[in-house]
Amino acid sequence: MGRGFSFRLLATDAASQARMGEITTPRGSIPTPVFMPVGTLATVKTMTSEELCDLGAQIILANTYHLFLRPGVEVIQSLGGLHRFMHWDRPILTDSGGFQIFSLAPLRQITEEGVTFRSHLNGTSHFLSPEKVVALQEALDSDIIICLDECPAFPATEEYVARSAALTLRWAQRSKIAHTRPEQALFAVTQGGMYPHLRQEHAQALVAQDFQGYAIGGLSVGEDKDTRLAMLEVSIPELPENKPRYLMGVGTPADLVDAVSRGVDMFDCVLPTRNARNGMALTRNGRLVIKNARYVQDSRPLDEACGCYTCQHYSRAYLRHLFVAREILAYRLLTVHNLYYYLELMAGMRQALTQGRFQEFRRNFYGQQQNGGDLGD
């Protein structure tokens, strides 16, 4: 492995907060802004590692909570760590499991010490503390690790969100003390619900602790888009320019462009892979629901301007046939296309920033995405 973790800023947009940079990790460099395909269980669903590399993925995400439950971190460690286990030699970011504390709320109990929860698989009881979550991620040997946090539900009272944010801050402080591997970057998670002053105060408190990067959590949990963007706009100015900013679990192509223009560097979301399995292709002209009858004899590719393997070789008619027949190949081919589109979108933004034409890129993007429903032509 090479050098340790660092981030450098390479270009900025004069008319917005958008920026282009480079993250360096021991397993390679990552140009930003970057989208991380989600490989929750050490696999990006339906894709091989070679295929992800061919698509241009520079970093992927895996989930500590799910890998802790199966196959078990000890199993992965005994087999040489997460990279060797899943045959992926580029960087990996592991999420702490904080979102599962939110999404599996009926199965868990939060205390000052950590979270006790019942497995959603078999009901067995487990306990995760900030220290244990760091130790698990160190054992997985991922390149970027995340502090345990609590993600408040939406809506939530200001009093509850303030207590939750304070707990997340204390957990972050404990996580930093527990962190023993300097070659792994430790990111803290900013919270604060939909309360601007809590967002600002929490970000300031975490920045004072000097982490190697900062994730923006607690968004895309049911709030409307304008609220989400408003929370970004109050959070990001509090984060240091020389550290990566990671918006967790967001979102649609428009969400990515909106957030990059506000200064976000890193993204993950299940949308491209989940939508593929549900028969939705994401294209530069909007979304396309492949099961619709209008595609029965449509000889065109999903997107005539797309260079992905699927669009180069297969028609909408064939993809519709596969999907309606529930053939596994449909899910694979649609996943290839959706991930290619997301990764190309990010590459386009990076190139536009380098060339000083990000605002032109934004205008063109929104102009093409004029049809938010199923494409008719």
Shortest CA distance to 160 belongs to which of 195, 108, 187? 195
What is the distance, to the nearest Å, from the Cα of residue 5 to the centroid of all Cα atoms in its chain? 19
- Report d(CA 337, CA 309) in Å as an integer: 7
Residue from 141, 268, 298, 303 carrying the catalytic annotation: 268
DSSP alpha helices (H): ranges in the chain? Answer: 49-55, 64-69, 73-78, 82-86, 98-103, 130-140, 158-178, 196-208, 225-235, 253-260, 271-277, 309-313, 316-324, 328-355, 358-368
User: Of 95, 143, 149, 303, which one is the catalytic site residue?
Assistant: 95
Tell me if residue 54 is catalytic.
no
The DSSP annotation for 278-301 comes to: TTEEEETTEEEETTSGGGTT--S-
* Residue owning tokens 């527990």: 178
What's the DSSP call for residue 265?
-
* HSE-CB for 203 with a 13 A CA cutoff: 26
Helix axes 196-208, 225-235, angle to 10 degrees: 40
Q: Rounded CA gap, 190 and 130, in Å?
A: 15
Give the three-class secondary structure for 228.
helix
Q: Is 265 a residue of the active site?
A: no
Catalytic annotation, residues: 95, 268
